[in-house]
Chain A
């Protein structure tokens, strides 16, 4: 229980929170254009499985990550089609996508590999080039390059949302699509873009879980991380900084839970301990009152529906 313990804990927190904040950033785009996304989990599952497939067939994990992005994008496109194009109910569509991709990936996994586990594939668990860094190299190199990619995405997202014209429009669509339309901006394009970016980022988050943390895909491996990402977005008030902080907090509880399990310090059943991050999420969310809300979140916007 010395310095090394804390370093291990810190690395563990970073590793565990990465998928939540990458998916959370994706969800931020999605919710900011007014589309609720309970399908983040499904998009991550799709991304995780597609990434493993890509790596399995090409032997190159980066191609795997690319495939993961495509996998997330496919799920995102489906959500966009239902919610943006046809004005479907967001919550139903999202939950449907989560169930659909849990099922589809299991089906494909069984039919390709004959098992609910895939074989081990080339992965991205460590960052070789950072291992040469003096003193910290040992720790920096022990993290997946996708962790750094995630950090980069957070910084870029901050600039995109708060410093670009596109970001200004994204902020407005989430509050009042009619205003945006009367300013001569295509609301549908904005909404599509937000949902598709979300699919893409959730795909990366899924790829991180299958190739960055592990080197394979198995059924149920996302284990609610997508749902925690949805919570992280609300707790983080739709801002990259807040989402990052919340994801780290949830990751911390996850890491503590894992440590307690591994060390077997107290005689609590592991299932109880696994509840920890989720309970923490619910607790923080319920303490947060009067949070700012996006006025147009979870609404339908269909052309010609409104009388101006």
Chain B
């Protein structure tokens, strides 16, 4: 049988890293093929080779049985390969049609024929049953729509083989379903689809075949029907994974944090409406809700990043409402921000520098009161890189060079390093691979087992149910109720997340 794509013995070396080590992968035409692996397993490199952005050091690529050597993305596009990058390649200022036709613009004489561009894009959309308005500006459409524009872009160029790099990382659950539908239709239309991902649930939803990469090597290719998530996880990580950690004791009774009537408004909108809740020592309190229900703002109010419009934050019986982030850090509140690249790390700083950020005034890092004691910073960084298993060539590497999971470990290592009592974690496992998720879960649960408190925001219900002792559900800035995670069901939480409150359980439970 002729495969749509065959990659034989692909090897790619980067300075100090063997990214792809003699990888053999064959992809059948008209199927959805997932390539999975942890961050740094070499899946993106492999796909960039297929798309002509990197040249392999060894190996050959066959497209529909024909040997090809791609010098650039243009060669790959000409061969019918399209790629949807994780970070969308769209210019927000311009319209959907402009973005789609870039590089292959319809012309009328010397001029660019914008009407024809819109008509052609609309035609491509209707042929593949994809709903996008070609005349809209990209800035005005949702991320899910933007991803469709990217798919349309590859189709406009006549792609028969479409590569999607982490397609669901930025999508809402509803948009993920829509994407699945689009992919199914494309498959029926005869297209071959390759998905790169580390999220196993969607692998099981979308794909026909699954190839697993680990450490730059091809580990296995399986049919979806013949495998399951635990097996894939084991192949991906190389060992059994225990998510969620193990709770060793019941939560304490002492109050660690008490929020009373917290109100927050921004830009004339009420984002939090009178929230009151209590977090105990030795307890994980999960905050559930659809993205944007106010739970992130609540976490930021506790961390001190936002100042509430009303209400009080009491931490260990002291009112800290007006205190700054720095003061709260001293008091023992650690904060894992949602967007690690924007708010958690300075991307151009080294790992060692990022690890002391915010704690640089502590006596152990200081010399003569004003200078930074770089020896202490470095030896401390080396210790924590070992302790938290941050995979890096050294402590002087810039964090921007690390994979998402390792970046997050740097944030966690820093926040845990100050031995906080309360950890505010806003989506701590967003966009990190399963190995790092396991590590972060263990860190949070160990913290809890030692009597610390965790305020956890997550969009993943499974994660909340695994880690939390109690789950507070938010809807539209209101607290719909607090459930005991041992007895709560997914359905109960799901109902409350969309606004139906639970009889008799509403209001602050303590």
Contact = CB atoms under 8 A, between A and B. Distances in A.
B102 A179 contact: yes
B98 A179 contact: no
Interface string B64-108: 000000001110010000010100011111100011011101010
Contact of B111 (A164, A182, A292): A164
B102 A180 contact: yes
A164 B110 contact: yes
Interface residues of B, number: 27
Interface string A194-205: 000000000000
A178 B89 contact: yes
Contacts of A183: 89, 102-103, 153
B74 A171 contact: no
Contact of A159 (B73, B90, B92, B111): B111
Question: Secondary structure at chain A's binding surface: helix, strand, loop or mixed?
Answer: helix
A185 B105 CA distance: 12
Interface in A170-184: 171-172, 175-176, 178-184
A172 B102 contact: yes
Among A175, A178, A182, A308: residue with most chain B CB under 10 A = A308
B53 A168 contact: no
B112 A308 contact: no
B49 to A, nearest CB: 11
Contacts of B105: 165, 168
Contacts of A185: 102-103
A27 to B, nearest CB: 19
Given A164-B112, A167-B112, A182 B73 contact: yes
A165 B107 contact: yes
A185 B104 CA distance: 10
B260 to A, nearest CB: 38
Contact of A175 (B44, B74, B77, B91): B91
Contact of B102 (A159, A168, A178, A308): A168
Nearest to A292: B93
Nearest to B98: A168
Contacts of A175: 91-94
Nearest to B86: A308
Contact of B77 (A167, A172, A184, A292): A184
Interface residues of A, number: 21
Nearest to B77: A184
A180 B99 CA distance: 9
A178 B110 CA distance: 26
A169 interface: yes
A184 B89 contact: no
A179 B153 CA distance: 12
B382 interface: no
Nearest to A166: B112
Interface string A258-298: 00000000000000000000000000000000001000000
Interface string B124-165: 000000000000000000000000000001000000000000
Contact of B89 (A165, A167, A176, A292): A176
Give the residue among B48, B53, B101, B114 with the most A Cβ atoms within 10 A.
B53
Given A169-B103, A179-B99, A184-B103, 11 more contacts: A159-B111, A163-B111, A164-B110, A164-B112, A168-B105, A171-B93, A176-B91, A180-B102, A183-B102, A185-B102, A308-B85
